[in-house]
Amino acid sequence: MTQVTVEITRLGAKGDGIGMGPDGPLYVPRAIPGDIVAVDLAYDEPQIASIERASPHRIAPLCPLFGSCGGCLIQEADLSTYRAWKQARVVEALTPLGVASCIKPLIDAHGSGRRRVTFHARRSAHGIEIGFMRARSHDLIPIDACPLLTPGLARAPFVARTLAQRFASSTKPIDLVITETMSGLDVDLRGHGPANSSLRKSLALDAEHLDLARIAMHGETVIERLRPAIQIGRAQVMIPPGAFLQATRLGEETLASIVLQALGSASLVADLFSGVGTFALRLAQMAGVHAVENNSAALAALDRALRETQGLKPISLEERDLFKRPLNDHELARFDAVVLDPPRAGAEAQTRMLARSSVSKIISVSCHLGSFVRDAEILIKAGYRLLSVTPVDQFRYSSHIELVGVFEKDKTQAKPKRRLLG
Among residues 39, 46, 36, 58, the alpha carbon closest in space to that of 14 is found at 46
- Cβ atoms of 283 and 269 within 8 Å: the answer is yes
C-alpha distances in Å from residue 68, one per residue of 61, 120, 289, 312: 12, 16, 46, 48
- In this structure, how many other beta carbons lie within 10 angstroms of the beta carbon of residue 383? 12
Which residues are catalytically annotated? 367
**Whether this model's pTM surpasses 0.85:** yes
* CATH code 3.40.50.150 region(s) in the chain: 85-110+247-413
* CATH code 2.40.50.140 region(s) in the chain: 3-58
Task: Tell me the fold of 3-58.
Answer: OB fold (Dihydrolipoamide Acetyltransferase, E2P) (2.40.50)
- Cβ atoms of 74 and 397 within 8 Å: the answer is yes
* CATH code 2.40.50.1070 region(s) in the chain: 116-230
Alpha-carbon distance 167 to 161, whole Å? 10
**What is the CATH code of the structural domain delimited by 116-230?**
2.40.50.1070
Class of the CATH-defined domain 85-110+247-413: alpha beta
- Cβ atoms of 120 and 142 within 8 Å: the answer is no
pLDDT by residue for the chain (422 residues), tens only, comes to 689 999 999 999 999 999 999 889 999 999 999 999 999 998 888 999 999 999 999 999 999 999 999 999 999 999 999 999 999 999 999 999 999 999 999 999 999 999 999 999 988 777 788 999 998 888 899 999 999 999 999 999 999 999 999 988 777 889 999 999 999 999 999 988 788 899 999 999 999 999 999 999 998 999 999 999 999 999 999 999 989 999 999 999 999 999 999 999 999 999 999 999 999 999 999 999 999 999 999 999 999 999 999 999 999 999 999 999 999 999 999 999 999 999 999 999 999 999 999 999 999 999 999 999 999 999 999 999 999 999 999 999 999 999 999 999 976 555 555 444 44
Q: What is the dihedral of CA 225, 230, 175, 296, to 10 degrees?
A: 90
